[in-house]
């Protein structure tokens, strides 16, 4: 019961006292391990058990060794009372769980037939071989294996919050969105709007002659973001440049997170990823610029400074 705050212990004791019709202080003392568990006083151990080990009334009861109570695994011989005291699970519940498990495993219910719930301080290991019921129990038998697929559960009366959810997250250096982030966003928004307006005042969007199906301009270029692809068209088969490369490009981008299994975000740990990505970034930039400014009539190579720019936004 170590580490449980007093008020929780008390609440638990009150509830148990009410349920069992006992005195709160007595239960509390028992919970705290300051007094021997009541049932042991009421009902002395049955003869079959070699060492019932009732704790000396004055000394606090030693914690039952490797407290099997919480683990849910059936230990060797079990002292239900001690277990109950240490885990806070009422004896009847412990016993019911044991019986249930025995039934499920097709073994006879451990020999405690007729015994009142509290009467078996050292219950036989409930999965011990059927015949050996009480006698074998006392021996430190090898821990019985829990068959595969069997989930064992245990009802606990007190659950520390930490076990279920992180009540307190680790502290982080945080700032208020208002005003800090909103101010930055507002400024960024104003700067971009102003820049766009000023640019639009001075530079007009292009408008050429009316669309004419019979007169293809030379060269004809796709919008700039497709010019890298159009550039590829002059090296590869249209199936490759126009279809396979862009399809693989988009799919390739989308699956990056599922291919890159490296959990680190430190640039020094991701040299390969950064190199590969930068290569493609650089290549597409070069192809786009090349297709935009270095391709003249017939989509042939031309220098923008000698032959002029064949490019419209």
Residues 83-142 that bind other proteins (CB under 8 A): none
Helix 91-104 / helix 80-87 crossing angle, nearest 10 deg: 120
Residue 233 within binding range of other proteins, rule CB under 8 A: yes
Find the part of the chain contacting other proteins (CB under 8 A) among 85-93, 98-106, 157-165, 229-237. Answer: 229-237
Question: How near is the Cβ of 304 to other proteins at its closest, in Å?
Answer: 18
Residue in 241, 203, 229 with CA at minimum distance from that of residue 288: 229
Backbone dihedral region for residue 3 (phi beyond 0: left; psi -120 to 50: alpha; all else: beta): left
Q: Which two tokens stand for residue 92?
A: 């009847």
Taking Cα atoms as reference points, which of 158, 141, 207 lies closest to residue 31?
158
Binding to other proteins (CB under 8 A) within 170-209 occurs at 172-182, 184-185, 188-189, 192-193, 196-197, 199-201, 203-209
Query: Binding segment for other proteins among 56-64, 125-133, 260-268, 300-308 (CB under 8 A)?
Result: 260-268
Asked if 290 is part of the footprint of other proteins (rule: CB under 8 A), the reply reads no
Residue 78: strand pairing partners:
123
Q: Which stretch binds other proteins (CB under 8 A): 53-61, 129-137, 144-152, 223-231?
A: 223-231
The span of 45-53, 79-87, 94-102, 216-224 binding other proteins (CB under 8 A) equals: 216-224
DSSP secondary structure string for all residues of 251-264: HHHHTHHHH-----
Question: Rounded to whole angstroms, how far apart are CA atoms 255 and 77?
Answer: 55
Shortest Å, Cβ 192 to other proteins = 6
Residue 219: CB minimum distance to other proteins, A = 9
Least distance from other proteins to the Cβ atom of residue 161, Å: 22
265 binds other proteins (CB under 8 A): yes
- Judge contact between 38 and 26, C-beta under 8 A: yes
Residue 126, classified by CB atoms within 10 Å of its CB into exposed (0-12), middle (13-18) or buried (19+), is buried
Q: Residue 6, interface with other proteins (CB under 8 A)?
A: no
d(CA 99, CA 115): 13
Judged by beta carbon, residue 65 or residue 188, the one nearer other proteins is 188
Q: Does position 73 bind other proteins by CB under 8 A?
A: no
CB of 185 to other proteins, least distance (A): 6
Q: Does 298 bind other proteins (CB under 8 A)?
A: no
- Is residue 154 at the binding interface for other proteins, with CB under 8 A as the rule? no
Q: In this structure, what token pair is assigned to residue 286?
A: 């070069």
């Amino acid at each position: 019961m170590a580490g449980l705050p007093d008020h929780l212990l008390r609440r638990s004791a009150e509830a148990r006292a009410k349920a069992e019709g006992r005195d709160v202080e007595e239960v509390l003392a028992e919970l705290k391990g300051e007094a021997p568990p009541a049932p042991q006083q009421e009902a002395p151990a049955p003869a079959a058990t070699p060492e019932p080990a009732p704790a000396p009334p004055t000394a606090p009861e030693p914690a039952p060794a490797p407290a099997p109570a919480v683990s849910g695994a059936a230990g060797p011989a079990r002292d239900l009372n001690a277990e109950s005291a240490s885990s806070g699970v009422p004896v009847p519940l412990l016993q019911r769980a044991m019986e249930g498990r025995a039934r499920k495993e097709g073994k006879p219910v451990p020999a405690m037939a007729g015994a009142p719930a509290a009467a078996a301080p050292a219950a036989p290991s409930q999965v011990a071989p059927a015949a050996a019921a009480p006698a074998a129990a006392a021996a430190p038998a090898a821990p019985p294996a829990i068959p595969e697929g069997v989930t064992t559960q245990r009802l606990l009366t007190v659950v520390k919050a930490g076990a279920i959810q992180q009540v307190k997250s680790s502290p982080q250096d945080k700032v208020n969105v208002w005003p800090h982030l909103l101010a930055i966003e507002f400024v960024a928004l104003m700067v971009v709007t102003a820049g766009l307006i000023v640019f639009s005042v001075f530079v007009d969007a292009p408008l050429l002659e009316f669309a004419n199906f019979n007169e293809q301009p030379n060269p004809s270029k796709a919008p700039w973001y497709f010019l890298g692809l159009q550039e590829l068209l002059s090296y590869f088969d249209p199936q490759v440049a126009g279809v396979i490369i862009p399809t693989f490009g988009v799919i390739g981008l989308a699956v990056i997170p599922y291919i890159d299994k490296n959990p680190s975000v430190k640039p020094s740990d991701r040299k390969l990823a950064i190199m590969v990505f930068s290569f493609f970034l650089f290549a597409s930039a070069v192809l786009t610029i090349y297709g935009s400014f270095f391709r003249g009539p017939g989509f042939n190579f031309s220098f923008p400074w000698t032959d002029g720019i064949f490019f419209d936004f």
